[in-house]
Chain A
Amino acid sequence: MTENIMTVNSVSEEHEHQNHSVFGFWIYLMSDCIIFGCLFASYAVLRFQFAGGPTAKEMFELPGVAMETALLLVSSLTFGFAMIEAYKGKKTGTVFWMIVSAILGAGFLFLEIKEFIYLIAHGASPDVSAFWSTFFTLVSTHGLHVTLGIIWMIVLIVQILLKGINSKMLPRLACLSLFWHFLDIIWICVFSFVYLLSMVP
């Protein structure tokens, strides 16, 4: 009897602990939100400082941005499906949707790097003007987060394949899902205020 209560207690304590780890990660995301706030602030102040170099309107290509947006949004959806499968305890489904999300994320990164190469090749490199410095800082910080998200996803896929989905794996997946959806929310601000707003005459 006592032993039984002990086990239940330790399980609920463990549970509480895992819940805290997800909340702790949430607080990290909130501080990340403020980092992006600072980057958006510097971008907003320097948005017209082209120093005679190429302007945003000349250089941005909206079809590429639309494609990046689509890839990131679909990968957010597929990661949601991965979480649904994970909560059901289904290993194959979770791994399948995680691989799909990682591939879509990699597609986003590929397009972003392609865009950066295009910009730099056409004279819009970070050292040209204050505008391009802040642009590259803001967008590549987001890209770095996506890169880390993909690495994290690969690590968890390997862990699930080796150990299966257990109560220790779920909080890790919950943290990654928060991170991945959060990056999509940051991207909403990037495509609205960086790309679309610069294209207005």
Chain B
Amino acid sequence: MTENQAVISHEKHYQHGNVVSYIVGFVLSVILTVIAFYIVISHSLSLMATGIALGILATLQIIVQSSLFLHVSLMPSKRVDLISFLFSVFVALVIVFGTLFVMHNVGHFMMSR
């Protein structure tokens, strides 16, 4: 097995993108980012609605980048990557929203806000 063959077999083994998939990911990210900045600069939505819109746009962009740049996918060979990714996102969300919930209650019941 020569160096070159090793490189080619690597190519088969690691799922990676081509020029088109990277450019599609880039263009989608740019569009989502521009929408996010536009919503905030134009002051077109209320605080609540802006928060929700930013949350949705960020989630979409994370999905775009993790599938097209990080190559997380539903393929069987990538299953473990996907599960560990979803699990850590879940843990991060529990930490963020759990902390907000607990601290909100602390503020509420201690009347310190």
A residues at B contact (CB < 8 Å): 7-8, 11, 15, 19, 22-23, 26-27, 30-31, 33-34, 36-38, 40-42, 44-45, 62, 66, 69, 73-74, 76-77, 80-81, 83-84, 87, 89, 165-167, 170, 174, 178, 181-182, 184-185, 188-189, 191-193, 196-197, 199-201
What are the residues of chain B within 8 A of A42 when measuring CB–CB? Answer: 99
| Inter-chain contact A87/B7, CB cutoff 8 Å | yes
What are the residues of chain A within 8 A of B18 when measuring CB–CB? Answer: 84
Cα distance, A178 to B85, chains bound together (Å): 12
| Inter-chain contact B9/A15, CB cutoff 8 Å | yes
- What band does the interface of chain B fall in when counting residues whose beta carbon is under 8 Å from A? 35 or more
| Inter-chain contact A89/B100, CB cutoff 8 Å | no
Report the minimal beta-carbon distance from B109 to chain A, rounded to whole angstroms: 16
| Inter-chain contact A81/B69, CB cutoff 8 Å | no
What are the residues of chain B within 8 A of A80 when measuring CB–CB? Answer: 17, 22, 25, 69
- Say yes or no for B74: interface residue by CB 8 A criterion: no
B residues at A contact (CB < 8 Å): 1, 3-4, 6-7, 9-11, 13-14, 16-19, 22-23, 25-26, 29-30, 33, 36-37, 39-41, 43, 47, 50-51, 54-55, 57-58, 61-62, 65-66, 69-70, 80-81, 84-85, 87-89, 91-93, 95-96, 98-100, 103
Cα distance, A196 to B32, chains bound together (Å): 13
Q: A41-B95, A77-B26 are in contact. Are A189 and B58 (CB under 8 A)?
A: yes
| Inter-chain contact B7/A84, CB cutoff 8 Å | no
| Inter-chain contact B1/A11, CB cutoff 8 Å | yes
Report the minimal beta-carbon distance from B26 to chain A, rounded to whole angstroms: 4
Cα distance, A50 to B70, chains bound together (Å): 37
Closest residue to A178 on the B side, CB-wise?
Answer: B70
Q: Is the interface of B mostly helix, strand, loop or mixed?
A: helix
| Inter-chain contact A181/B69, CB cutoff 8 Å | yes
| Inter-chain contact A185/B66, CB cutoff 8 Å | yes
Q: A45-B99, A77-B26 are in contact. Are A192 and B3 (CB under 8 A)?
A: no
Indicate which residue in A15, A40, A166, A178 contacts B3 across the interface (CB closer than 8 Å). Answer: A166
Cα distance, A184 to B70, chains bound together (Å): 11
Report the minimal beta-carbon distance from B108 to chain A, rounded to whole angstroms: 13
Cα distance, A81 to B22, chains bound together (Å): 8
